[in-house]
Amino acid sequence: MSGPDGGARRDELAANLARVQARIAAAERAADRAPGEVSLVVVTKFFPASDVRLLAGLGVTDVGENRHQEAAAKAADCADLDLAWHFIGGLQSNKAAAVARYADVVESVDRARLVAPLARGAAEEGRRVDVLLQVSLDPPDHTGERSGATEADLGALAEAVSATESLRLRGLMAVAPLGEEPARAFERLAQIRQRFMQSFPEATTLSAGMSGDLEEAIAVGATHVRVGSAVLGSRPGVL
Ligand SMILES: *Cc1c(COP(=O)(O)O)cnc(C)c1O
């Protein structure tokens, strides 16, 4: 970072952003999809609000965060910018109302217990919050901790969200599990989505694909990709 306006960092972010946008455009073409059909959510977790500000200056409109305290602080810091904040992390029910006060999209709704506090937080601020249901792509024999609802749970969860005034059901979100080809996992996701949309045809959003697998996600119909390290660099202290 150099200079008060972050000139060197801005150049670095601009170059990374251009590379990611070119990858998205190429993947859209490869999948015979219309240019600009896929939206980019830049995941800014672990990076400072000054980076968010630079990204907004470079035309980024949507940012993603996965921890409540960090997200709340950055959203407050950047309140003068016209950004949509996506909450993409594991959500505790005692934090859900607070998240719904600043998040424009909550992408990680994976159990019914989250719905009432989210709806209350949004209603108390007089806002409507978009919701994606996070679906687990773990293989059926998976035994470890699961983030994401099972396909069998999605219908009831979608009904619960739809029954609120302050939440709007928009679609599904998923993360490819470790240890499996992302393309295979995303094939399952596409099938889950197709079945889900028979009951919830308005829920057209599909958030899938990250720095390492955005092409595979766009190939199966992702409407939003969530990209962190390919834009911001490796996260300090992790990975
Ligand atoms: C961190 C994170 C991302 C971005 O991951 P990168 O590999 O850095 O692009 C996307 N989605 C979720 C849910 C995340 O937690």
What's the 41 CA to ligand 1 centre distance in angstroms?
10
Closest atom of ligand 1 to 43 CA is 4
Q: What phi and psi values does residue 171 have, to the nearest 5 degrees?
A: 160, -150
- Crossing angle for the helix pair 115-124 and 151-162, nearest 10 degrees? 30
132 has which bridge partners?
171
- Give the CA angle between residues 68, 70, 73 to the nearest 5°: 105
Cβ proximity of 65 and 87 under 8 Å: yes
- Give the CA angle between residues 203, 112, 187 to the nearest 5°: 45
Closest atom of ligand 1 to 227 CA is 9
Q: What phi and psi values does residue 65 have, to the nearest 5 degrees?
A: -140, 150
Other CB atoms within a 10 A radius of the CB of residue 72 amount to 19
Q: How far is CA 157 from CA 11, 21, 38, 127, 140, in A?
A: 43, 33, 26, 21, 20
Q: Is 232 in the pocket of ligand 1 (CB under 6 A)?
A: no
Cβ proximity of 180 and 164 under 8 Å: no
Q: What pTM was computed for the model?
A: 0.95
Positive or negative torsion for Cα 99, 100, 106, 111: positive
Q: Is 189 in the pocket of ligand 1 (CB under 6 A)?
A: no
Closest atom of ligand 1 to 212 CA is 7
Residue pLDDT tens, the chain, 239 long: 445 566 999 999 999 999 999 999 999 999 999 999 999 999 999 999 999 999 999 999 999 999 999 999 999 999 999 999 999 999 999 999 999 999 999 999 999 999 999 999 999 999 999 999 999 999 777 767 778 999 999 999 999 999 999 999 999 999 999 989 999 999 999 999 999 999 999 999 999 999 999 999 999 999 999 999 999 999 876 54
